[in-house]
Structure 1
Amino acid sequence: MSDRVERKRLLMMKILRESGSPLSSQRIQEQLTSRGMDISERTVRFHLQALDNQGFTGYKEKKGRFLTPRGLMELSRAHVYDRVGFLSSKIDEMTFRMTFNPETAEGTVLVNLSLVEKRYRDALGDKISPVFSSGLAHGSLMALVDEGESIGESVIPRGMVGLGTVCSITFNGALIQAGIPVTSVFGGLLEIHDKAPDRFTAVIKYDGTSLDPLEIYITSGMTSTAEAARNGNGLIGASFREIPSSARDRVKETDARLKGRGLGGFLKMGYSSQALLDIPVGDGRTGLVIAGGLNAVAPLVEDGITIDSKALSGLIDYSVLFSYEELSSRLSRLK
């Protein structure tokens, strides 16, 4: 198979992965065209049939093609995503593809994925719940994925369980759908003092890294999220966004709707053209501080449990999410 043909087929698989649901050949052709590829629907069907034969895709009657677990592993192997690119580009793309509507509580949301060995499952609920209940996670909902199942581009390995936490970029998606432009500036370590955001002690700009800052801080053991949840003082992962000051009231309305759906919003909002937690903003801009979705699993690392986390792991349907209070009971039902 030529490199050109392989790139086409991998891009089709990538589109199926990002959709989170089966797509028709016509819809796939439209997606390819929107990305600058001149291709007919007939040619798309030809390549999809070849992918079916390889076991990378399957067909669901009246719904369309879907990506199989084997296809997901092939994408991971091929490094379809531009892994050397900047994180800001991925944030923009994933934000655009989110479809969640706060009014109807329908559509897809962005999630992070953390892999944990099943032998730790009895301890997970007690370690994770305090972060949610203290408001230091992003929202109050999460997902649970068993071994052999998939989320985004990742298949859960044998002996592991996947914890899906709502990514804070979901907030960006909701703002974009409301017609409000938003800029993700950086991710950092946020000091919590007396249960309130106090200052950033370290930052990494999104347009200068290919890795998620919160992944770096958590895996490096730089957070004290469990302590912050327990007594109101500690270091957590958070991000800084900017919005037009003229949209401030509309952002507050969107924030309230998202929180009402359990998806979380901002921890702190600044004022027009004024620094927020000593972080300057441009003229006519307002700053936002938002808790990181991966904060929920940070106490596991802080307690010496090895996890493998990936921010912006993929899109899942909102209906799959459940309250963190159900985690322990759901874990107990796993084989």
Structure 2
Amino acid sequence: MAEKTEKKELAILRLLQKANAPLASSRLTENLQAMGHEVSERTVRHYLLELDRRGLTSNLGKKGRSITVAGQMELDNARIFDKVGFLTAKIDQLTYRMSFDLHRRSGTVISNISLIPLSLLSRAVPMVCKVYAAGYSMGCMMALFAPGEQLGDMIIPENMAGLGTVCSITLNGVLLAHGIPTHASFGGLLELRDRKPVRFVEIIKYDGSSLVPLEIFIRSGMTDYLGAIKTGDGRIGVGFREMPADSRDGVLSLIQELEKVGLGAFLMVGWPGQPLLEIPVLEGQIGAVVIGGLNPVAVLEETGIRIQSQAMSGLVEYERLFHYRELEARAQALTR
């Protein structure tokens, strides 16, 4: 397949995915031209026929085209080099779009979503709550989505539940709203001994990966939440942030406010220009270690419960969140 053709077909699939609704060829042509692609509506119709033939789009007549499950998979797998850097762009986009007001306790925060069969939900609840109780989570708030509900591009399938955990990128948005620019450097696997951070055993930079680091660690079986919970010795997912050195006092003050609203996740805050857990920090910057948002559900993989997680899935209203201690009752109500 010619490279230019592939790029245009993938652009069409991305537009259909983003729209989350059927789009006519005329609308697709307008959007493609706005993106800088030189195409006519006739050419777009030709691309759509080819995508229909390969089962990547579905022709809904006058309504237009919609993306199929196969089309979604094609986007996930295609042109890996184009996706390097996409992760940092998504972080910046969601940081800008979230609207959470720390003092009013309202607005949207960034949420991850993890799918789990309803039949396994009651078995999963105790382990999820243990991670929260041990303090290895992004705060103490979470959400539960029923079949048919939607978060971002993810629609909860029939006979499944969606466990929503607050993404640690939410902290970037809160700090930005208070005038503190924050750079998400990398995701890492942090070794704990006696419940205290010791060192990073693995790191993956956000700008060099097409996948969320913690998702990689979870799927690879590299985590040890069970050990962290039971003995205090284990490996958990964290993120590394860098902020202006002059903002340190402001960051520490905001950490206290975040903990009051159930969004505390800062594990460590370094000193200006000083390494943090052997990670070098530039002069004029401070480093910080924040707890990974997917940690509460990651433990399920270690107990044999397979889940499908999507980090930074979308935005959810803070009012929709609840304290993790309510999860058992809400799960029981959902499975009746």
The answer to whether TM tops 0.5 is: yes
Q: Deviations over 1:250-276 (max 9, x none)?
A: 111222211111112310011011000
The count of aligned residue pairs is 293
Deviation per CA, 1:254-306: give whole Å up to 9, x if none.
22211111112310011011000111100011110001010001110001111
Partner of 2:229: 229
C-alpha contact (below 8 Å) 1:130/1:226 kept by paired residues: no
Task: Tell me how far 1:313 sits from its aligned partner.
Answer: 0.6
Q: What's the % identity of the aligned pairs?
A: 43
Quickly say closer, same or farther: Cα 1:236–1:279, change in 2 above 3 A: same
Q: Which residue of 1 aligns with 2:55?
A: none
Task: Point out where structure 2 has 5 or more consecutive residues left out of the alignment.
Answer: 1-6, 22-30, 37-59
Consecutive unaligned residues in structure 1, runs of 5 or more: 18-31, 38-50, 57-69
Q: Which residue identity lines up with residue 170 of structure 1 in the other structure? A: T
The answer (yes or no) to whether the contact 1:72–1:155 under 8 Å persists in 2 is no
User: Quick one: distance in 1 between partners of 2:11 and 2:197?
Assistant: 46
Amino acid in structure 1 at the alignment position of 2:321: L
| Cα distance in structure 1, aligned partners of 2:289 and 2:270 | 9
Match runs of 1:181-260 below 5 Å? 181-260=181-260
Aligned equivalents of 2:290 and 2:73: distance in 1? Answer: 33
- The within-5 A match list for 1:1-335 is 11=15, 14=18, 54=63, 76=72, 79=75, 84-86=83-85, 87-335=87-335
Give the TM-score normalised by the residue count of structure 2: 0.78
Which digits, 9 at most, give the CA deviation of each residue in 1:28-80, with x for residues without a partner? xxxx9xx979xxxxxxxxxxxxx9x7399xxxxxxxxxxxxx89979947849
Distance 1:276 1:82, change over 3 A: same
Q: What is the CA–CA distance in structure 2 between the aligned matches of 1:289 and 1:97, rounded to whole Å?
A: 23
Q: CA RMSD in A?
A: 3.0
CA distance in 2, matches of 1:16, 1:104: 31
Contact 2:20 2:153 (C-alpha < 8 Å) held by counterparts: no
Q: Report the 3-state secondary structure (helix = DSSP H, G, I; strand = E; otherwise coil) of the residue aligned with 1:103.
A: coil
2:334 counterpart SS class: coil
Superposition misfits of 4+ residues, deviation over 4 angstroms: 6-13, 70-83
Cα contact 2:189–2:203 (8 A) shared by 1: yes
Give me the TM-score of the superposition, normalised by structure 1.
Answer: 0.79
| Matched residue SS, 1:267 | strand
Does the CA contact (< 8 Å) of 2:84 and 2:207 recur in 1?
Answer: no
Counterpart amino acid of residue 237 in structure 2: G
Q: Spell out, residue by residue over 1:225-261, the C-alpha distance to the aligned partner (whole angstroms, 9 max, x if none).
A: 1221222110000011111110001111222211111
Q: Could you say what secondary structure the match of 1:214 adopts?
A: helix
The question of whether the paired residues in 1 share the 8 Å contact of 2:13 and 2:67 is answered with: no
Q: Which moved more, 1:264-273 or 1:70-79?
A: 70-79
2-side partners of 1:280 and 1:327: how far apart?
39
Higher-Rg structure is 2
Checking the alignment, whether the CA contact within 8 Å between 1:73 and 1:154 is kept in structure 2 is no
In structure 2, give the amino acid aligned to 1:111.
Answer: S
